[in-house]
Structure 1
């Protein structure tokens, strides 16, 4: 009789878990950067902890979980993460950029990748790291018998960093020698409230230091540049101007340096912007009506933040001398005025830049089920509003001569540069399993398939984020002193294949696809691998 009751209860719990999973799977989509280094406990469980939020890390995952904490605690944590990505390039069979048919990047691949770390106030140091090491610290305070628990946590809520500067000839340099986007929460005043033995609520206000930094070389394999370069070869094969050319358009008046080649480096660009004070809000609810079942929901608020910083454009001799040569001829200035070319291009233009960048809002809910006393299964589903990052517009303090060259291709305002990020809203899900091996030791497994918030036709080497799968393991150990240690390790991998002319952030070669397709007419294949280790140690004080 008892056996039948236990079996029936087990069957009910398993059916409940299965039915929720069946409803979630058809909607499943996820993005890359969320929740990667916020909590080692969450990572070891596939970030499926909304119904079982972990200690002080509840501040991010579900602040209602704070109300389960008793006494005063301190948590120290450390995260180590390495990002490795590579790409290879192959010209399409009918490759032709205005008569130029031999791209020197054909058959090449990117080289070693390292990480950079943005330090508030200091910026990006010149260190080049095999992995990023991020320490964290959190506190909770609870008076005996009080329904309130207060806390704060320092953590990295979002980060993506790629450094290709080790090889100066790396073909990936045309879409990011250095890319660093980071959101470091340095203060997060929070409170959890125990409404009853089964219901808890919470709120936190994470305050972040956010940064956005790019350092990249630029080239423009565009058909108009190719056609013009071929005309130059016909008029002045050696790159030397002549009298006839001087009376017409001055195609060769820029000398050998002014001979256009769509495959040559044309410029470089650096931008470094920060938002030192970016507050958001997290709201959470946790309902645990049974020992074997619980539900949770969290809302992580978004923001619209003004980033400020500095920029620098460095234009190589090719375009500078070409424009100078045109404007030294008889008819060249007339043609240049018609198409909107500048009178000259300075070698360096630098100044201040400003941009409004939205941090996406996120909603996540989950359940936990214990089909057996020593086995817990977690499932989460979440939605993130990444479409706010569809474009990012940088506004400069002066007209940029290099951008004036793009007026013919639809660049209307030479004081603005719009980065077409192409991100879209995503629905994510995750799965976790915890096995209570002994009274002190719990073993964990996590799985999280992540469909990128960047569609395949918008992917670039600035953010090579394909669909990935995250697999994690971890454990928790409770000491006799009351201290708790959590350890997690995870491996994330995804691959991509972008055929030539299918992605106008990468490899389109139409006449008007100038900004920005540095690998025009080429097949681009690559992958992304992230390795992660995290550990936290919580003890009463």
Structure 2
């Protein structure tokens, strides 16, 4: 156990060790964050896994890449989109009048831009550092800087990533109708979650991901639509999916904690041991996968009047048992600090390189939507949807490791609830309600025009904003058309644009720039404000014909 006591003076006065009682008593100034840097690497690892999976919140429903859903800004619960009804509302499968094949090609581009403001170091922290080192507190080289993501990154099953300047994604499915039993069976390949990006090696955002990618690919989705009477259709689908994530990220020491701790260990004023403010600490690589994650979808369509349809859809939560490998390479200054800590913490090895296996149970949250579709005139249709995502399920995440790890040992000494081989990370995300509205206009018997708007309210609270999940409240705009080349063959096209802007004030986010004492959450931009925006473009084309 470690006992940390605070002093009102800025100087560090005592360090004692008692191995028999396995107890260390450290007296620190109130500004010191003991153990931030070893523990921060631990938190970096855990937070990276969580944040990568949180991309589902960023692109929820969009990476299905349905042309109709894109064009109508996801206002399709009561007006489901062809074979993609499997995802949006399986009751919509009853629209197929015979055996049908649907193929689609899609592309997307995601760009995140960000900038930092001037550095504002806490005066107490600054004074403690300068008293210890007898040197000025350094300037953050990334203050008043700008950065941006570069090229899209795709995660391929097997854990490998590919940088693709212009990704083209082929998807599709098929449906067959049993007229005798008023039932349609269908299956499709689609991606409920597929996004990734890279950053240049000298970009300020690399401390929250040099390269980040996440994929959830549904490779088998047996689904059924049933007609119950003249006005009611029901749908049920089971989806079997691959879930994977990959991440490479650098870690730096933005605060003076390591320098203060190093001075405490050396007992010599002016001598620094370990990383100082803004020194790089470590580089993390991780890849984890689950090839069988199962969920189900339910849907209902009710048309009591020829011009009015009500739709209701539910997607279940889906658990993924992620398993994979990670590695952490520490900087020389970090190894130096670890070596100095070994007499106090004998289990620590002070190595340059650590690797191991990790397991995590991750749940894709459940989702509900309610919508209406109204034929205002014989040519003009109006759709309105309300969608709710239940991300409050993400209250915490637990990571289990295959062996005691150096930084886990250190963190467990700092936290009485910590363990050598597992970590629980609190997240406390919230549920969010979004809405969308769309219109369709039948230009002539062959051409149908579409347009829509969606307000996407974020599940991420303001104190959790960062650059790993570059999203807050967002606006999504869609346009497109459907064209019938013959009586049974159809072409759909959808073009979508998403934009989100957000600001992170000084010390606002526990995941980016917190300066709170003893806040061990990874914060590479402490003492900096952040301004960021995310823009995404989506283009999808599908072709449907009988077979």
Q: Which of 191, 212, 230 does residue 197 from structure 1 map onto?
A: 230
Deviation digits for residues 324-381 of structure 1 (CA, Å, limit 9, x no counterpart) = 2455xxxxx2xx24xxx74422211112110010111111110011111100000111
Where does structure 1 lack aligned partners over 5 or more consecutive residues? 1-29, 240-251, 253-257, 328-332
Q: Give the secondary structure class of the aligned counterpart of 1:71.
A: coil
Task: Give yes or no for the alignment of 1:423 onto 2:460.
Answer: no
Alpha-carbon distance between aligned partners in 1 of 2:218 and 2:192, rounded to the nearest angstrom: 7
Could you say which residue in structure 2 is the equivalent of 1:32? 58
Could you say which residue in structure 2 is the equivalent of 1:243? none
Could you say which residue in structure 2 is the equivalent of 1:137? 172
Could you say which residue in structure 2 is the equivalent of 1:102? 139
1:227-376 → structure 2 map (5 Å cutoff): 227-228=260-261, 235=268, 258-325=273-340, 327=342, 333=343, 336-337=344-345, 342-376=347-381
Alpha-carbon distance between aligned partners in 1 of 2:115 and 2:267, rounded to the nearest angstrom: 33
Deviation at 1:398, TM superposition (A): 1.7
Alpha-carbon distance between aligned partners in 2 of 1:93 and 1:131, rounded to the nearest angstrom: 40
Task: Give yes or no for the alignment of 1:377 onto 2:398.
Answer: no
Give the TM-score normalised by structure 1: 0.84
Where does structure 2 lack aligned partners over 5 or more consecutive residues? 1-55, 130-136
Q: Is the 8 A contact 2:138 2:277 kept in 1?
A: no
Q: Give the secondary structure class of the aligned counterpart of 1:281.
A: strand
Could you say which residue in structure 2 is the equivalent of 1:20? none
Could you say which residue in structure 1 is the equivalent of 2:202? 169
Task: Give yes or no for the alignment of 1:154 onto 2:160.
Answer: no
Q: Which of 488, 499, 508 does residue 493 from structure 1 map onto?
A: 499
Task: Give yes or no for the alignment of 1:209 onto 2:242.
Answer: yes
Deviation at 1:279, TM superposition (A): 1.1
Task: Give yes or no for the alignment of 1:51 onto 2:94.
Answer: no
Give the TM-score normalised by structure 2: 0.83
Q: Give the secondary structure class of the aligned counterpart of 1:32.
A: helix
Q: Is the 8 A contact 1:505 1:517 kept in 2?
A: yes
Structure 1 residues 259 and 280, CA gap change in structure 2 (3 angstroms): closer
Alpha-carbon distance between aligned partners in 2 of 1:187 and 1:176, rounded to the nearest angstrom: 31
Task: Say which is worse superposed, 106-115 or 264-273, in terms of deviation.
Answer: 106-115
What is the number of residues matched between the two proteins?
480
Q: Is the 8 A contact 1:409 1:514 kept in 2?
A: no
Deviation at 1:504, TM superposition (A): 1.1
Alpha-carbon distance between aligned partners in 2 of 1:83 and 1:501, rounded to the nearest angstrom: 27
Alpha-carbon distance between aligned partners in 1 of 2:368 and 2:492, rounded to the nearest angstrom: 25
Could you say which residue in structure 2 is the equivalent of 1:525? 531
Task: Say which is worse superposed, 388-397 or 37-46, in terms of deviation.
Answer: 388-397
Could you say which residue in structure 1 is the equivalent of 2:48? none
Alpha-carbon distance between aligned partners in 1 of 2:150 and 2:429, rounded to the nearest angstrom: 24
Task: Give yes or no for the alignment of 1:460 onto 2:466.
Answer: yes
Could you say which residue in structure 2 is the equivalent of 1:8? none
Deviation digits for residues 95-142 of structure 1 (CA, Å, limit 9, x no counterpart) = 555533411221222244222111123x233x3223443211110001
Alpha-carbon distance between aligned partners in 1 of 2:328 and 2:477, rounded to the nearest angstrom: 41
Q: Is the 8 A contact 1:92 1:500 kept in 2?
A: no
Deviation at 1:236, TM superposition (A): 7.2
Q: CA RMSD for the aligned pairs?
A: 2.2
Alpha-carbon distance between aligned partners in 1 of 2:359 and 2:377, rounded to the nearest angstrom: 55
Alpha-carbon distance between aligned partners in 1 of 2:111 and 2:529, rounded to the nearest angstrom: 20
Task: Give yes or no for the alignment of 1:124 onto 2:130.
Answer: no
